[in-house]
Amino acid sequence: MAVYTDVSPEELEAFLATYEIGRLRAFKGIAEGVENSNYLLQTEAGSFILTLYEKRVNPADLPFFIGLMEHLASRGIDCPQPVKNRAGAALGTLAGRPAAIATFLVGTSVRRPSAGHCAALGTALAGLHKAGADFTAFRRANALSVPGWRPLFEQAEARADTVAPGLAALIADELATLEPNWPTGLPAGVIHADLFPDNVFFTDGRLSGLIDFYFACNDLLAYDIAICLNAWCFEPDGAYNQTKGRALLAAYQAERPLEPAEIDALTLLCRGAALRFLLTRLVDWLNVPPGALVRPHDPKDYLRRLRFHRAVRNVRDYGIALAGSAA
Amino acid sequence: MAVYTDVSPEELEAFLATYEIGRLRAFKGIAEGVENSNYLLQTEAGSFILTLYEKRVNPADLPFFIGLMEHLASRGIDCPQPVKNRAGAALGTLAGRPAAIATFLVGTSVRRPSAGHCAALGTALAGLHKAGADFTAFRRANALSVPGWRPLFEQAEARADTVAPGLAALIADELATLEPNWPTGLPAGVIHADLFPDNVFFTDGRLSGLIDFYFACNDLLAYDIAICLNAWCFEPDGAYNQTKGRALLAAYQAERPLEPAEIDALTLLCRGAALRFLLTRLVDWLNVPPGALVRPHDPKDYLRRLRFHRAVRNVRDYGIALAGSAA
């Protein structure tokens, strides 16, 4: 649910006059994305998404996001393509906020991904990583990687055990393991960093696009895989589905084979990805205003994932095909 | 902001299979309407609005709403037209709620209506009243007319003065006037009862449609005019704009001339309309949960309107052309 800034029709009309997308036919706030306000625009030229960047987005990051989407679209990745105004700029100001118009991506997300969906995701993720390899115009560090986790924990520590007994000790133990042992030197580049099922569109069973690049950053490519394994390959009861994991990993490797060091690091990266979402969800969960209309995600879903990864003794448990195995 | 019920893509697919509107291309929750969940659907056949009826809507009223929209559309009124499924029904069940699909209406609402917009509204309102005259298949009483006001006041009375000093006494006085003097015997029929600017779409300056019929009911036609005068003809500073009122009333009367008794009752009807929205906004205002994301409308806007109407001594103050005057 995301319409934080109210745009008057008069302001909108003036903003659209700076673009060459024809006259407005319809305009509706939509419940997509969680950080920004998003509107569906219909004009004589078709459908578009208008995004107003809200306070949680750092304006200094906008050239990275906009430039990345332009770059990826130019490399054939199906993602929203920023539309330039008459002055050639993809970023303007509307209702006092930075604002951009992007093309409308056809498709719908799936709630319960199948192994086939996971395979399609693996292919698209590798394609994204390859297409992003030469995006060097801007850089953006991952604010939610290892150095960002302890400050989140400190916000949540005192009340963590109200969510699950022993949670504070478990997170402290996990940080003590991950901080000194986090892999370095692995292949790095642009990662999406939030490629949950609701950010992936399918049309007639085929993957038709990726959206919401507002967590994208420069980081380890295999960390993006770890985020996706967490987000796509666990069942509602918390069990890891190795068939889905195998499908995702094999499809990814068909496009970009993992290096041995990436495979060795996979369990640790999966633990880190689970901890990252556990921590942000825990902080949101503990800070929900009473009576708020939006219910945050239950952090315990990611606690179950973390426990799974901590128990993994062999990376084959993820369903990965090791060198010498059949792909 | 209105997406209260979450619809999974799988449930949606099964629901759409009962319609003949082609395959799904896009699906987004939209911030439209306040009582129900609304989604934009794009299919091979075009754009549609999917509405899930939430708890505040009485399922027994749905045949009235759906039947009314079908009736009005068949009479040439630009309003959402319910789409029937393969079984010929306009009402189905989705995610455990009654649900309907309607055609997508092109246009955008205005925030600050001009006199021209008010004139267009007057024409459309009279057209609506004439088109609704032979809608007799279902009836729906106005739950928010005179008998509904005192119960609302009783919910708000104890804390009303925290909103504005003397408010409780003013409302009590107003009820004491309106309850025994509310007009009877005036022309009645189907009224929209909530025709605020956000429920009226314009395209290229022309009125292109009316939406949100979920307060529609059988009541005095002139009461609908009074609601519109309140909603369209006051400036942000609380002043009545007689030019706008004149435009609305003249355009309405060009389609359906008011009877003398309706004109005589106009001030009282305007007071009643102002009181109705003052009361519902006051109750919402006093009951907003702390930390809620949705800020209710300030009831004081309608207090200012009510004070204006209480001071009106001559119905000409609304800008109405009386018999013998120039139209």
pLDDT at A78 over 50: yes
Span B187-206, pLDDT tens digits: 999 999 999 999 999 998 89
Span A142-189, pLDDT tens digits: 999 999 999 999 999 999 999 999 999 999 999 999 999 999 999 999
Option in B10, B105, B106 nearest A112 (CB): B10
Option in B9, B106, B293 nearest A294 (CB): B293
B10 touches chain A (CB under 8 A): yes
Beta carbons of B29 and A30 less than 8 Å apart? yes
Instruction: Please report residues of A whose CB lies closer than 8 A to that of B205.
Output: none
B208 touches chain A (CB under 8 A): no
DSSP letter, residue A106: P
Residue of B15, B28, B54, B104 for testing the chain A interface, max A β-carbons within 10 Å: B28
Span B82-112, pLDDT tens digits: 999 999 999 999 999 999 999 999 999 998 9
Span A277-292, pLDDT tens digits: 999 999 999 987 665 5
Confidence of residue A327 (pLDDT cuts 50, 70, 90): very low
Q: How far is the alpha carbon of A2 from chain B, nearest alpha carbon, in Å?
A: 9
* Residue B149, CA atoms < 13 Å, CB-side half-sphere: 21
Question: Which amino acid is located at A201 in the chain?
Answer: F
Residue of B15, B25, B211, B284 for testing the chain A interface, max A β-carbons within 10 Å: B25
Beta carbons of B24 and A110 less than 8 Å apart? no
Confidence of residue A326 (pLDDT cuts 50, 70, 90): very low
B76 touches chain A (CB under 8 A): no
Collapsing DSSP to helix, strand or coil, B280 comes out as: helix
B28 touches chain A (CB under 8 A): yes
Confidence of residue A294 (pLDDT cuts 50, 70, 90): low
- If one compares A123 and B9, the residue with the highest pLDDT of the two is A123
Beta carbons of B27 and A108 less than 8 Å apart? yes
Beta carbons of B291 and A292 less than 8 Å apart? yes
pLDDT at A34: 65
pLDDT at A309: 98
A 80-119 residues with CB < 8 A to B: 104-112
What's the CA gap between B152 and A29, in Å, rounded? 31
B176 touches chain A (CB under 8 A): no
pLDDT at B75: 95
Beta carbons of B106 and A42 less than 8 Å apart? yes
Instruction: Please report residues of B whose CB lies closer than 8 A to that of A204.
Output: 23
pLDDT at A321: 82
The segments of chain B whose pLDDT lies below 70 read: 1-4, 33-34, 289-295, 323-327
pLDDT at B291: 56
Q: A303 and A260 in contact (C-beta within 8 Å)?
A: no
Return the residue matching tokens 């019929």: B213
pLDDT at A1: 38
pLDDT at B1: 38
Q: A118 and A233 in contact (C-beta within 8 Å)?
A: yes
If one counts every other C-beta atom within 10 angstroms of the C-beta of residue B233, the result is 26
B47 touches chain A (CB under 8 A): yes
Q: What DSSP string runs through A12-38? A: HHHHHTTSSS--EEEEEEE---SSSEE
A208 touches chain B (CB under 8 A): no
Beta carbons of A30 and B25 less than 8 Å apart? no
Beta carbons of B292 and A289 less than 8 Å apart? yes
Beta carbons of A203 and B25 less than 8 Å apart? yes
If one counts every other C-beta atom within 10 angstroms of the C-beta of residue A265, the result is 24
> What domains does chain B contain, in order, with CATH numbers?
9-103 (3.30.200.20), 115-318 (3.90.1200.10)
Span A175-230, pLDDT tens digits: 999 999 999 999 999 999 999 999 999 998 899 999 999 999 999 999 999 999 99
* CB burial of residue B242 (10 Å; 0-12, 13-18, 19+): middle
